[in-house]
Amino acid sequence: MFQPGNAKTDELTDLVYGAALGECSWQDFLDRLASALPNGRSALHYHDLAAPNSYVPTVSGFEAEDIEQFNAHFAAVNPWLPRAMFVATGQGLVGEQIVPRGELIRSEFYNDWLKRKTGCETSVGVTIIRSATRTFMLSTCTSSTDADLNQQAAEQYTALAPHLKRAFDLLRKRDGMAGGHGESRDLLDSVGVGVIYVTDNLRVRSMNRSAERMVSGDAPVRVSPGGRVALRGADTAAALELLSLRIGTKSEPHVSLLRGSDGAAYRITLVRLRSDVFVELLNGPTVAILIEPATSLLPEERREHLKDMHGLTPAEVRIASGLAAGLSLREMAQANGVSYETIRTQLKSIYNKTEVNSQAALVSLLMR
């Protein structure tokens, strides 16, 4: 496993979920990520090819002046950005895989910003979310010219990509569905996602309001009178047991789709939160259980609007709602008990009725 700077992939994954759950900050994640490469300078950044400026909300290692100059001018002449729109989402890459080095070093961007302002030679990055003209990326500029080291870092970014997308799906749903009125409420409660924190022996440490409702309802999660969590799926239950063991076990997150007592599908995400080694020895590990209704996250009035305005069938509304929930087509096939090809056919019908031509455009329509 790639470990330059001792930034292990499982540690970084824990920080991603920690930031999504409010246990730490995105700054903590970027600071740790930047330490993995020589002269590492990391950023989460958003770009709209229809506008001249970029938006870089969180950085590590960059001076404020560097970012101001990047936003004001150098983003527009950055040779990586236009070509990054044609790179597969979730695929970590080194800069030279997008723009040949000979071309890069002749550019204004390299000579007047990357090299002169930051002392860096290349970048490693991954596209997390993309629409027709917009892209949201994670990248790290580095002074490393070691091709093998940089490629190993790119592979680490590929491993982090699905977890980053899960985290930003939650943020997107908060902004799209809370109507701007949920800022002071718990993030996960505001989007109807339950979270339960358990320690060793699967004892509940705490849970949010959404989890309380789900546990008392039809979700595939139960809490015994003694406060012990039980999951319906055997594989998921075994994964929870493993994650909740004390120090010395792997902490790879586990994601599965389970059915509740009413037959509805739920996506269950298990992630072990990173703690100080001595705190973990004394108090035991903490595992977060995220519980998401797989196909019913759109408000009822929005689902009715889709039926009335666009003529979507109930099955098509479920597919549209699943996309809003961040499910893949294969996950929706599993959640709805149909084949992957059936889901693709229904999605094409939804495109025709809503007059859009991409999943990104459809989600944008759903969130209005």
For helices 314-324 and 300-310, the axis angle rounded to 10 degrees is 130
| Residue 266 to residue 22: CA distance in whole angstroms | 22
* Those residues with Cβ within 8 angstroms of residue 39's Cβ, 6 or more apart along the chain or in another chain: 61, 118, 119, 120, 141, 142, 143, 144
Q: What is the pLDDT of residues 287-341, one digit of tens each?
A: 889 898 876 555 666 677 778 888 888 888 888 877 766 677 887 787 777 888 9
Banded pLDDT at 252 (limits 50, 70, 90): confident
| Residue 105 to residue 115: CA distance in whole angstroms | 9
Segment of 47-51, 112-116, 359-363 carrying the highest mean pLDDT: 112-116
Q: Which pLDDT score, from 0 to 100, does residue 2 have?
A: 39
The pTM of the full predicted model, rounded to 2 decimals, is 0.65
Q: Is the pLDDT of residue 147 over 90?
A: yes
Q: Which pLDDT score, from 0 to 100, does residue 328 have?
A: 77
Q: Which pLDDT score, from 0 to 100, does residue 251 have?
A: 66
| Residue 13 to residue 287: CA distance in whole angstroms | 13
| Residue 258 to residue 254: CA distance in whole angstroms | 12
Lookup: tokens for 334: 């599993």
Q: Is the pLDDT of residue 281 over 60?
A: no
Region 144-171 average pLDDT: 89
| Residue 150 to residue 124: CA distance in whole angstroms | 7
Q: Which pLDDT score, from 0 to 100, does residue 72 have?
A: 85
| Residue 328 to residue 290: CA distance in whole angstroms | 17
Q: Determine contact, residues 195/21, Cβ cutoff 8 Å.
A: yes
Segment of 23-37, 262-276, 282-296, 351-365 carrying the highest mean pLDDT: 23-37
| Residue 294 to residue 46: CA distance in whole angstroms | 27
Q: Which pLDDT score, from 0 to 100, does residue 171 have?
A: 64
